[in-house]
Structure 1
């Protein structure tokens, strides 16, 4: 299995397009850094009366919450009030206004969608290209069963996705440190979940944030891999996966406004951050429910991939 993965990994890096993808990702991060640096504002004066300021802010938020009819808005106001109260009780002034390295790393996470785009392209071609070039026959004449061959290709795709995410995180951290510097003091990230606030190391929070925001990418990569395997068509896999990457959330949100069954759609469950820093798309949804749905979709995608690949006649 390891040798098969190494072989697939070498195939990916023999293609000039792979280095073009990496270069685009780095240049895009650099561009975001330059724009952020240009828009950066100097740190404001420290608010010595921050406790009173937060209390006044809470009073205003309570009034807005009472007047609001939107459940999403009410949840947001409630979250801000709880966090402000936690700051007051534990003597934690609001985070410094100076933009720093970790602020940039979090902003750069928007480029995860770019890593998803590139990984989908790799996933869509890793199987279909073998059929198009006729090299699939050379793979199957080896004394290795088809399941191992297909599994090695999928593991390679996942490794490539993690590799691109690592580049994004590491380069944005290095670039952020150079352009914006480190924070003046170690301030914990206040994590709000289920009505409670906990303190979390900012780096740990960012790793979790990147991980949860990568779930949608991983599921679409798995779907692109499935389409590539079942239909042997990389163009179809790329086109459909990218279309859903950019529009799946919007269509699901529209359906969720009128239909409760929208919670069973894949894209209603890919954003697990909605349970940590937001509001579930459909009433009654829980993180456990979304994880179960993701596992079901994951199993279906792989069942179709391995079933078709093992049954397909490639002799002709």
Structure 2
């Protein structure tokens, strides 16, 4: 299995397109950093009355929460979270505005995860379909290796390449952010709100968790692209459909969720696990465990279809 994965990685890194994609990522991060440095520089919190401002904001939030209580647009959970975070900042002397530093830049660059996802989807969509298009699939199958191992090695290769690309994104944004914006003298913690309690989390740990959770949507779409590639042997279909759903799946699901509760069973209603830590679920009553179960079901379904069809297909046909 290890030798198969090594061979697949060699194939990926022999393609000029791989280096073009990685080069584009480096250039975009550098341009984004230079643009932010030129236009924004560092933000300084110079408001000495920030505690009073937060107290005033809390009073307004409490009034708004009372007005909307029990109504169709009840957002009491959001108001409770905002009030609790503001009170915690006041009590522990944590101003809401801070200098723009390396961690701010790394957080902003996380928006590129979807952009990186396009690269990984392209790899996943072609890693099986290209073997059929080039006729090299027969050379793979004449070896004394099962089809399951061959396909598993290809999926693990895609997964490892995706992990490598995401790690590179995080490290590059950290390096460029450190050079352009520097480290804070004292890194302000990230404030977590869970079940009415506010806790502090080191900002670097929060960003690693944030990147991981934000990558779930990409992982599911990459797995779907891999499945389409294995089932239909069509990389164009896999790339087109996966990228289309990447940019429209969430919005369409939100529109359906406004009217129908069954929308919670749609894949894209569950890919954003950050909704359970920052904000509210897309449909009332959804829980973190429910979304994890739904993601596992979709994940296993995609892999089952890929392996089942690949193992049963008549290659000579």
Partner of 1:57: 57
The answer on whether the counterparts of 1:212 and 1:271 sit within 8 Å (CA) in structure 2 is: yes
Equivalent pairs, count: 315
Measure how far apart 1:65 and its partner are. 2.8
Tell me the alpha carbon deviations over residues 189-229 of structure 1, each in whole angstroms, 9 at most, x when there is no partner: 11122332111010000000000000000000000000000
- Does 1:30 pair with 2:38? no
In 2, Cα distance between equivalents of 1:249 and 1:53:
35
The answer on whether the counterparts of 1:193 and 1:277 sit within 8 Å (CA) in structure 2 is: no
In 1, Cα distance between equivalents of 2:246 and 2:33:
24
Measure how far apart 1:188 and its partner are. 1.2
Deviates more, 1:135-144 or 1:53-62: 53-62
Partner of 1:159: 160
The answer on whether the counterparts of 1:194 and 1:276 sit within 8 Å (CA) in structure 2 is: no
Q: How does 1:227-266 map to 2 (within 5 A)?
A: 227-266=228-267
Q: How does 1:149-228 map to 2 (within 5 A)?
A: 149-228=150-229
The answer on whether the counterparts of 2:213 and 2:273 sit within 8 Å (CA) in structure 1 is: yes
C-alpha RMSD over aligned residues = 1.6
Tell me the alpha carbon deviations over residues 248-304 of structure 1, each in whole angstroms, 9 at most, x when there is no partner: 001000000000000000000000000000100011100000000000001110110
In 1, Cα distance between equivalents of 2:174 and 2:96:
19
Partner of 1:115: 116
**Structure 1 gap segments, 5+ residues each:** none
Partner of 1:5: 5
The answer on whether the counterparts of 2:128 and 2:154 sit within 8 Å (CA) in structure 1 is: yes
In 1, Cα distance between equivalents of 2:214 and 2:252:
19
Distance change (3 Å), C-alpha of 1:297 and 1:197:
same
Q: TM-score, normalised by structure 2?
A: 0.95
The answer on whether the counterparts of 1:72 and 1:279 sit within 8 Å (CA) in structure 2 is: no
